[in-house]
Amino acid sequence: MSPSGEQVTFSDGTRADLANDGTGWSLRIDDVRQAHIGPDGEPPALASVRWMLAALGRALPARSAHLGGSLLTLPRAIAARRPGSEQVVVELEPALVDLVESRFPPPPGIQVILGDARAWLEAPTTGELDAVVLDIFAGNRIPPAFTSRECFTAIRRTLGPAGVLVINSVAGPQLEFTRRELATLRETFAHVAMIIQGSVLHGARFGNATLIASDAPLDAEGIRSQLAGDPSKGVLLTELDEIAGQAQPVTDADALWSPAPDLPRYDEALAMIEAVSTAVRAVKPPG
């Protein structure tokens, strides 16, 4: 952790590292960066946030709900790009809400609610939202309450006719979880798409996947234009039959968590680099 860093302890005992790395403030859990706040108006540092921005369309939503808040990375980006937009953020973790309110106040138009997002879905303003963003992780995994058909159906009721659901999801080498999530969304919404990197899609590694669903046709051209040139090399996929295959939709009864991330840890990577460097020095001829 940098000298300017500190730890934030969550209600379940999980500890997150908060540090300023020179580009802004980052929040990490188990060496995975969960949120980043950079200078206003600059492109978000996290590829997953840039993908979600693209998925929301060229005309960003005037009214949106964010299930899961963290440091409000995406809501801040929307507020900067669409002044006057109305956003509600539902965050379960009191330590995060306290951190935002005390250290990183939200810009105008963002209301932060401390509470359970699944419970909030039971009685929101029905059918009036332009977008719902689902970005909830517990210990770097998506909890079962937010992977099921019942959850997606409840979200669908909050959306207007052209409303869109955007999910910050994950994809592992086997893709089984992703396939089932796609099957569940396709059962619930008329149009479904996914943003993913080719290396993740082909099973080379674990990574993010942005899932997009709506009852209205998606602006695929607009999404692709916003992804063009992004260093993450995320691609939009709209033909999902082969990927989803015969996967079964997820229900609450399945209690399905997303897979644990299989990511290299920084300390292990540094140790490996040092070991290789030592070996190279040992065999390198003098002079």
Sequence-distant (≥ 6) Cβ neighbours of residue 25 within 8 angstroms: 18, 19, 36, 37, 71, 104
- Mean pLDDT of the 178-204 span: 96
Residue type, 204: A
pLDDT, position 32 = 84
Per-residue DSSP letter, 196: E
pLDDT, position 122 = 85
- Looking at every residue in the chain, the average pLDDT score rounds to 89
- Mean pLDDT of the 175-202 span: 97
Provide the CATH number for the domain formed by 6-283 in this structure. 3.40.50.150
For residue 273, pLDDT beyond 70 = no
pLDDT, position 286 = 52
Domain boundaries, the chain: 6-283
Q: How far apart are CA 220 and CA 218, in angstroms?
A: 6
CA separation (Å) from 65 to 6, 107, 166, 174, 256?
A: 29, 15, 11, 31, 23
C-alpha radius of gyration, the chain, whole number = 20
Q: How far apart are CA 133 and CA 164, in angstroms?
A: 8
- Mean pLDDT of the 28-36 span: 88
DSSP string, 99-154: HHHHHSPPPTTEEEEES-HHHHHTSS-TT-EEEEEE---BTTB--GGGSSHHHHHH
- Mean pLDDT of the 194-222 span: 95
Dump pLDDT digits (tens) for 5-25: 799 999 999 999 999 988 899
- 37 versus 272: the higher-pLDDT residue is 37
For residue 4, pLDDT beyond 80 = no
165 within 8 A of 219, measured Cβ to Cβ? no
